[in-house]
Amino acid sequence: MAQRPIAVLDAHIANRIAAGEVIERPASAVKELMENALDAGARRIEVEIRGGGKEYIRVSDDGAGIPAAEVPLAFERHATSKIRTADDLFAVATLGFRGEALPSIAAVAEVEMRTRTADSLQGTRYVIVAGQPQEAGPVGAPVGTTVIVRRLFFNTPARYKFLRTDATEKRYVADVAARLALARPDVAVRLLADGRELLATPGDGRLMSAALAIYGPQAARELLPVALEAEGIAVEGLVARPTWHHGNRERLTVVLNGRAIQSPAVARAIEKGYDTLLPSRRFPVGVVHITMDPRAVDVNVHPAKAEVRFRDDSLVFRVVLRAVREGLLGANLVAGLAPGEAVPPPVPPAGGGRAPGFQVRESYGPPPRLRQHEPPNAGESPQAHAPLGSQEPAGGQGLSHAQDLGGTDPWATDAEGEDARRQLREMTVLGQLHRTYILGETPAGLWIVDQHVAHERVLYERLLRAAAGGQADVQQLLMPVTITLAPAQAGLAEQFQAELQQVGLILEPFGGRTYLLRGVPVPLAGAGAGELQQLVEEVLAACAAEGAWRPHEVCARLACRAAIKAGQPLEPRQMQQLLADLSQAENPFACPHGRPIVMTVSRSLLARRFGRH
Ligand code: ADP
Ligand code: MG
């Protein structure tokens, strides 16, 4: 065969080849898109996939958006707003920087972007298929960016063939989303797969909140705080008691300057921190944040930027090892409070050790986070503490289980779910605490249920089901409420009139930007006019998030408004009913935004605390 002449590759082909490096599977596309959202300063990121992400991926953020003129540029190779000179490469503070992701994804899929910046009245819609721009034009859109990726690898069959089953690809996506959520507890991350919520972190900045939403109930009782600052490196995080381990390193998340990374060196340091405490061939569970001078790290060594190179490996190793070791040791020094299985101290406290009563700092912000001089106790988390008192992270177990109970999710634990449901059903109500929590007893111990979030969860699921079946229970209002909307919202009200009706909000145009609210979902029957005006605005704002109807978000808002509030006295009968309803919920563990609903104090803990064993 005659050899062909050398030629520079056509740009489209070059992009397809590059795509192979950066975009291996749906999860890699999700990772790049979520990282772009984080770089754009998003506070909330919603990811939705269908068919394991092969069929459909949507990533929506409320970040800065892209100016109309720059949208086509964003899809060009090596176009980036993040670095300008080679020197910048040595102090990369953003997650992306090579300008490869969008062109790589667009080269092998159908991509649609909708984006708007705060100073622009209109958004931009841009469609690009197999690297060929198709459409560009103005569109009504909220501030932020939505990227939709359809039919990934449709034009690269070899790559498509290499993908695994939908369920497996979905697991990879869930893993990526979980790691990014753990890397950035200050950002609310939500993942929907085929219409089911797999994950929802509250974005309240507390690592424990994110961990609860991701690892499930055992996080509260099993994770120990780690916090150490030495030699210019800050290490903080949550690592599992040695009794909770995993068959590989998948459940360990390492975060460097806000970037979730794979680092065999750091993983080894953490494992070494456990020393002999873990059975052989078992691996630690947890999340460890490392903050250090970005100039001491090279992140530009891996196509997907997943691996990093430290200037001084042994320094990082030393500090991480010590942090983990002291964390484990600290827990054990709290005499008698560790649950049953006592952990033998692996080593004497290095360099004087730490006072037993430490608490982890759990307030996270965007990277880089070099906070050298903060007091170690700032922003301590109430969730790191048990209900019974002092230093007892193991005493209570928050049940927050924001995952798919179907069991396809890598982080899910469904046996616990069924058990909790049964206990909720069989619980005897003891009373109400602070007019906020329901106290109940089961043979297993004391249960504390937050009445507001419990009710919120129940209503949320009901509203969602009713809306999906097209039969919301509507309460007609005797006196319609007049609602005046801002121009952008009035447009949305028009656009979504039918959908609003489906959830039970009967909104009738009344000229201009004025509407008459004639009916509301039954649970909201008692709401006042002001509250209803606010509610309609909230619902529309939630949908504005990508100019599309968002039933989950809408029902979450309705449920929150309609739910029993904290401070409301409840009759025993009402409490019993609420618990029975909760036990029927698909997910009785977390409110739609990821807050925990239930906390338990086990009978055995009580016995131990009172010296009864
Ligand atoms: P990189 O992230 O390496 O810069 P990408 O191809 O991922 O490259 O993105 C190209 C550019 O598009 C980014 O530098 C940024 O300016 C813009 N961009 C991409 N996604 C978003 C987003 N979600 N919000 C705002 N800007 C974005
Ligand atoms: Mg990027």
When the pLDDT of each residue in the chain is averaged and rounded to a whole number, the result is: 80
DSSP 8-state assignment for residue 69: G
If you ran DSSP here, which 8-state letter would residue 390 be given? S
28, 39, 43: which to mutate for ligand 1, most atoms within 8 A of CB?
Answer: 39
Q: What is the pLDDT of residue 15?
A: 67
Most informative mutation of 102, 117, 146, 546 for ligand 1 (most atoms within 8 A of CB): 102
147 forms beta bridges with 59, 113
**What does the pLDDT read at residue 543?**
81
Give the ranges where 308-441 is alpha helix by DSSP (H): 313-333, 414-426
Which of 15-29, 106-120, 385-399 shows the lowest mean pLDDT across its residues?
A: 385-399
What SS3 state is found at 443? coil
Atom of ligand 1 nearest to the CA of 147: 23
**Structure tokens, 247:** 């068959």
269: its two tokens: 């340091």
- Helix (H/G/I), strand (E/B), else coil: 288: strand
Backbone angles phi, psi at 478, to 5 degrees: -65, -45
Beta strand 506-509 pairing with 514-521: antiparallel
pTM equals: 0.59
Alpha-carbon distance of 457 to 611, in angstroms, equals 37
CA 202–ligand 2 middle distance (angstroms): 24
Band the pLDDT of 20: cuts 50, 70, 90. Answer: low
Q: How far apart are alpha carbons 508 and 487 in whole angstroms?
A: 16
Q: What pLDDT band is residue 12 in, cutting at 50, 70 and 90?
A: low
Asked whether the beta carbons of 27 and 169 are under 8 A apart, the reply is yes
Give the pLDDT score at 97.
61
443, β-bridge pairs:
none
Tell me the two tokens of residue 451.
């009445």
Residues 6+ apart with CB under 8 A from 245: 278, 279, 282, 283, 284, 285
Task: Return the residue whose CA atom lies nearest to atom 20 of ligand 1.
Answer: 36
Instruction: Collapse the DSSP code of 254 into the 3-class scheme (helix H, G, I; strand E, B; otherwise coil) and give the result.
Output: strand
Give, for ligand 1, the residue of 31, 75, 78, 80 to mutate: max count of ligand atoms closer than 8 Å to Cβ: 80
DSSP string, 233-252: EEEEEEEE-TTSEESSGGGE
Helix (H) or strand (E) holding 535: helix 529-544
CA–centroid distance, residue 549 to ligand 1 (Å): 25
Residues with CB under 6 A from ligand 1: 32, 36-37, 40, 61, 63-66, 74, 79-82, 96-102, 145
C-alpha dist (Å) from residue 423 to 134, 216, 429, 496, 604: 56, 17, 12, 41, 16
Q: Give the β-pairing of 245-246 and 309-310.
A: unpaired
pLDDT at 93: 60
Q: Whose CA is nearest to atom 21 of ligand 1?
A: 36
Query: How much distance in Å is there from the Cα of 239 to the middle of ligand 1?
Result: 33
Radius of gyration of the chain from Cα atoms? Answer: 26
Alpha-carbon distance of 329 to 351, in angstroms, equals: 13
What is the Å distance from ligand 1's center to 409 Cα? 29
pLDDT tens digit string along 304-351? 666 788 888 899 999 999 999 888 876 642 222 233 333 333 333 333
Taking the CA of 102 as reference, the closest ligand is 1
Mean pLDDT, rounded, for 402-420: 43
Note the pLDDT tens digit of each residue in 433-475: 999 999 999 888 898 999 999 999 999 989 988 888 877 888 8
Is there a contact between 508 and 518 (Cβ–Cβ < 8 Å)? Answer: yes
